[in-house]
Structure formats: structure tokens, C-alpha cells
């Protein structure tokens, strides 16, 4: 009879929107044991983690004591502070991640560190040193950056022996977002000409995911350029989170373009809006949230479009009693799926790999399955 393996001991760092989704899914899985929750709000300190997310008692209380979490016996920390958290070389979050890694805890996070080489060798060296000291690994993922480009797009190139261009578009209808902080961070309601903080976060995250995807495809980029524009409200909009007055920011269009051999090779477009009538391209699907991928290649080109839903069969965006956007669950689930990988990997930074996909020269194909 096969011996039952012990569950992975998991910490959720930051029970915000994504952290809440993580806790809910972890409590449903026997192979995962929630052993700690690090909260930032004093109102969450001492509360049962299960009750905190509207579920049964988990027998684990949230704490604001970071030192207690550092000293906890755990296999992995799902590190999910606010998305605006700085992630540069000497940032508080980077230093804390290194402490966790040095303390023997693997880390999976959606806030940064997707492709540390994009930030320079010192960045890589700092993370690698912490991993080797603690015998641990770090991996970053989510829905985008993460699953969308580094797994789906890369996988779709499996039908191509050559590629001239790739275009990925993410359409998000933000009208139903209830978080005031999130809507203000995106820039809704700000005067025309303002620079929302999402620009800096976007440059970090989307730049890295484009660079990493090209790296996985074996393509050397010349540079990544960005183009940013904003949708201006033609009228007043009364939304759940705030009012968007006429003449203020009512959406954004961000483009991140990897230039290869002086030509656009990989383009990622983020299109966020509150009114389909103001969107620069036609909106598809009842929810207005969807992804479009176009790969121009040979002998096959690929066009794919898909939505994230609570139920495709029942055409539901939300399940009863749960207003969590599907995109937040699609951020959380890849983190959970990465747990056995980071816990079993050799010490260091772990990057996503697909079984087989396009590379310019098959002799350069990289995979953990290739030993020589």
C-alpha cells in the first residue's frame, strides 16, 4: 500500500483579495495545511483564518507579527502583500522574501520577481544567495503576469516552427470593481494628464512578463518599449466604488512591445475600461472580460480568445455568495499549483516551463527533462 505523503504546510502572507481566495482554496484541499496567516490590518489580528474569509473555523489565527511567521515551521509562503508594494533590490518586500528563503521557507508570489534577470544581475544574485542559504526556491506567477503569457502563449506556439509576431490583449471591464483603492490606483476619476501609480506597477510587471516569455521562447530582445494612453469619460459615470466625472480618466490602454531585430515581435496590450462604448476595440462576451492571442507563424498561425468565468456551463461570472472576480482566483490558483514545484525544486529561482514549444533553434531548447 502506498504511503500517504504529509500535507504541504502553507502560510498565506496578506489576506487581501488574492490572499482570501488562496485561503478559501487551501481549506478545501486535504494535501494542503494552512499553518499561518500574516495580516497587515489590526482588525484581522487574532481572528480565525477560516472565519475571516467566510468559511468554517480553520484553527489558525491571523497575526500581524511578521517575526512569528519567519520562525514558523512551514514549507512555503504564498507572499501576497498589496500589488503596489515596491519590489526593487533593497525594498522591504525583497528583504523580507530573502529572510523567508534563508529561514527555510519556499516562496511563491504574484507581486514581482517574475524574471529577476530583467532587473539586473545584482537582483538575481541577492535572491539566489538567499535560496542557497536556506535550501529553498522562489517562483512568481499569477494570471497576468504568469499563466497568460508564460504558460498559455508559450504553449500555443507548439504548432509553429517559425514566428513573425505575437499579440496578446487583455480586456477588463472595471465597472463592477468594489474596491475604491483599486479604482483610484488605476486612475479612474483623475484629471486628464494625471499619472496613476498603476503605470509604475505595470512597467515592472508587464515588462518582466514580456521579457520572460521571450526568454522562454529562446528569443533575444533588443529592448522593450511601452506606449500608454487613457480613455477620457464622455459623461459622468456612477460606479460601485466611485464617481467618474466627465472629462476625467475612464480607462487605459497600455502596450508593452518587445523589439527583436528592430521589429515588434511580442506585444502585450492591457485594455481596461468601464463603458464598452468607449473601448478602442469591439467588446466580445457578456462580461466584457476576455483575452485575445494572435500568433502569426508558420506552418500554422494561431488565434485564440477566451474568458474567465465562475461557470461556463451556467454562464456565471460569480457564484452565489462569492463576488470574487474570476481573475483573482486565476491569480491565486497558479500560486497553489506551484507549491509542489517550489518545494521539490533545487535551491534557486524557478521559472515556468512547458513540455515543448517554439524556439528559433531546437538545439537551444531548454527543459528540466533534458539532462545533456
Judgement on whether residues 134 and 154 belong to the same structural domain of the protein: no
- C-alpha 319/C-alpha 253 separation (Å) is 29
Judgement on whether residues 199 and 253 belong to the same structural domain of the protein: yes
Q: Does a structural domain hold residue 98?
A: yes
Judgement on whether residues 247 and 156 belong to the same structural domain of the protein: yes
Q: Give the pLDDT confidence score for residue 1 in this predicted structure.
A: 55
Residues 6+ positions from 210 with CB-CB distance below 8 Å: 149, 224, 256, 257, 258, 266, 268
Of the candidates 145, 15, 148, 149, the residue with the CA atom closest to the CA atom of residue 79: 15
Q: Does a structural domain hold residue 263?
A: yes
Judgement on whether residues 272 and 154 belong to the same structural domain of the protein: yes
Q: Does a structural domain hold residue 358?
A: no
Q: Is the dihedral of CA 72, 75, 80, 85 positive or negative?
A: positive
- C-alpha 168/C-alpha 294 separation (Å) is 6
- Contacts within 8 Å (CB) and 24+ apart, 63-67: 63/36, 63/37, 63/38, 63/39, 64/38, 64/39, 64/40, 66/38, 66/96
Judgement on whether residues 173 and 35 belong to the same structural domain of the protein: no
The CATH number of whichever domain residue 286 belongs to comes to 3.30.360
Residue 329: HSE in the Cβ half-sphere, 13 Å Cα cutoff: 15
Q: Does a structural domain hold residue 325?
A: no
How far the first Cα of the chain sits from its last, in Å, is 35
The CATH number of whichever domain residue 77 belongs to comes to 3.40.50.720
Is residue 323 within 8 A of residue 178, CB to CB? The reply is yes
Q: What are phi and psi of 48, to 5 degrees?
A: -65, 135
Which residues is 316 bridged to in the sheet?
A: 311
β strands within 283-360, DSSP E: 290-298, 302-306, 348-349
Reported as a single tens digit per residue, the pLDDT across 265-322 is 999 999 999 999 999 988 876 667 899 999 999 999 999 999 999 999 998 888 888 8
Q: Return the SS3 of 151.
A: helix
Q: Which domain holds residue 197?
A: 147-306
Residues 6+ positions from 371 with CB-CB distance below 8 Å: none
Q: Does a structural domain hold residue 315?
A: no
Q: Return the SS3 of 197.
A: coil
Judgement on whether residues 98 and 152 belong to the same structural domain of the protein: no
Judgement on whether residues 70 and 215 belong to the same structural domain of the protein: no
Tens of each residue's pLDDT in the chain, 372 residues: 567 889 999 999 999 999 999 999 999 999 999 999 999 999 999 999 999 999 999 999 999 999 999 999 999 999 999 888 899 999 999 999 999 999 999 999 999 999 999 999 999 999 999 999 999 999 999 999 999 999 999 999 999 999 999 999 999 999 988 888 889 989 999 999 999 988 888 888 999 999 999 999 999 999 999 999 999 999 999 999 999 999 999 999 999 999 999 999 999 999 999 999 999 988 876 667 899 999 999 999 999 999 999 999 998 888 888 888 888 999 999 999 999 999 999 999 999 988 889 999 888 888 887 876
Q: Report pTM.
A: 0.93
Of the candidates 40, 43, 99, the residue with the CA atom closest to the CA atom of residue 65: 40
Judgement on whether residues 154 and 110 belong to the same structural domain of the protein: no
Q: What are phi and psi of 256, to 5 degrees?
A: -125, 120
- C-alpha 141/C-alpha 5 separation (Å) is 25
Alpha carbon distances (Å) from 64 to 27, 45, 54, 93, 353: 21, 6, 20, 15, 35
Indicate the helix (H) or strand (E) that contains 223. strand 223-232
Judgement on whether residues 166 and 180 belong to the same structural domain of the protein: yes
Judgement on whether residues 298 and 162 belong to the same structural domain of the protein: yes
Judgement on whether residues 103 and 56 belong to the same structural domain of the protein: yes
Residue 119 DSSP symbol: G
Reported as a single tens digit per residue, the pLDDT across 27-56 is 999 999 999 999 999 999 999 999 999 999
- C-alpha 113/C-alpha 133 separation (Å) is 18
Domain count, the chain: 2
Q: Give the pLDDT confidence score for residue 285 in this predicted structure.
A: 63
Radius of gyration of the CA atoms of the chain, in A: 21
Stated length of the chain: 372
Of the candidates 203, 177, 185, 22, the residue with the CA atom closest to the CA atom of residue 110: 22
* Residues 31, 310, 44, 46, Cα dihedral to 10°: -30
In the block, which residue shows the cell 467588446?
Answer: 283
Q: Does a structural domain hold residue 313?
A: no
Q: Does a structural domain hold residue 356?
A: no
- C-alpha 168/C-alpha 39 separation (Å) is 35
Judgement on whether residues 47 and 24 belong to the same structural domain of the protein: yes
Q: Does a structural domain hold residue 365?
A: no
Q: Give the pLDDT confidence score for residue 286 in this predicted structure.
A: 63
Q: Give the pLDDT confidence score for residue 274 in this predicted structure.
A: 96
Amino acid at each position: 500500500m502506498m504511503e500517504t505523503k504529509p500535507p504541504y504546510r502553507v502560510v498565506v502572507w496578506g489576506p487581501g483579495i488574492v490572499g482570501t481566495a488562496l485561503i478559501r482554496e487551501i481549506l478545501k484541499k486535504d494535501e494542503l495545511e494552512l499553518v499561518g496567516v500574516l495580516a497587515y490590518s489590526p482588525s484581522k489580528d487574532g481572528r480565525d483564518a477560516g472565519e475571516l474569509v467566510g468559511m468554517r473555523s480553520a484553527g489558525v489565527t491571523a497575526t500581524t507579527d511578521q517575526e512569528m511567521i519567519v520562525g514558523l515551521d512551514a514549507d512555503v509562503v504564498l507572499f501576497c502583500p498589496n500589488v503596489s508594494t515596491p519590489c526593487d533590490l533593497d525594498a522591504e518586500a525583497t528583504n523580507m522574501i530573502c529572510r523567508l528563503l534563508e529561514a527555510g521557507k519556499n516562496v511563491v508570489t504574484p507581486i514581482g520577481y517574475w524574471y529577476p534577470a530583467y532587473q539586473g544581475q545584482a537582483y538575481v544574485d541577492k535572491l539566489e544567495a538567499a535560496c542557497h542559504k536556506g535550501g529553498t526556491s522562489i517562483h512568481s506567477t499569477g494570471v497576468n503576469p504568469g499563466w497568460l503569457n508564460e504558460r498559455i502563449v508559450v504553449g500555443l506556439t507548439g504548432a509553429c516552427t517559425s514566428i513573425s509576431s505575437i499579440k496578446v490583449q487583455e480586456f477588463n471591464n472595471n465597472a463592477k470593481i468594489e474596491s475604491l483603492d483599486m479604482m483610484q490606483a488605476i486612475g479612474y476619476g483623475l484629471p486628464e494628464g494625471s499619472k496613476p501609480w498603476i503605470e509604475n506597477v505595470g512597467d515592472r510587471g508587464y515588462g518582466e512578463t514580456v521579457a520572460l516569455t521571450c526568454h522562454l521562447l529562446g528569443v533575444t530582445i533588443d529592448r522593450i518599449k511601452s506606449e500608454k494612453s487613457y480613455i477620457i469619460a464622455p459623461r459622468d459615470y456612477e460606479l460601485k466604488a466611485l464617481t467618474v466625472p466627465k472629462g476625467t480618466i475612464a480607462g487605459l490602454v497600455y502596450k508593452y512591445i518587445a523589439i527583436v531585430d528592430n521589429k515588434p515581435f511580442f506585444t502585450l496590450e492591457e485594455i481596461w475600461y468601464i463603458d464598452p462604448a468607449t473601448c478602442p476595440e469591439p467588446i466580445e462576451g457578456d462580461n466584457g472580460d476576455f483575452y485575445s492571442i494572435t500568433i502569426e507563424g508558420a506552418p500554422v498561425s494561431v488565434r485564440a480568445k477566451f474568458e474567465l468565468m465562475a461557470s461556463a456551463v451556467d454562464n456565471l461570472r460569480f457564484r452565489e455568495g462569492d463576488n470574487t472576480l474570476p481573475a483573482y482566483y486565476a491569480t491565486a490558483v497558479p500560486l497553489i499549483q506551484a507549491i509542489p514545484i517550489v518545494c521539490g525544486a533545487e535551491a534557486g529561482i524557478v521559472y515556468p516551463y512547458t513540455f515543448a514549444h517554439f524556439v528559433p533553434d531546437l538545439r537551444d531548447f531548454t527543459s528540466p527533462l533534458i539532462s545533456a
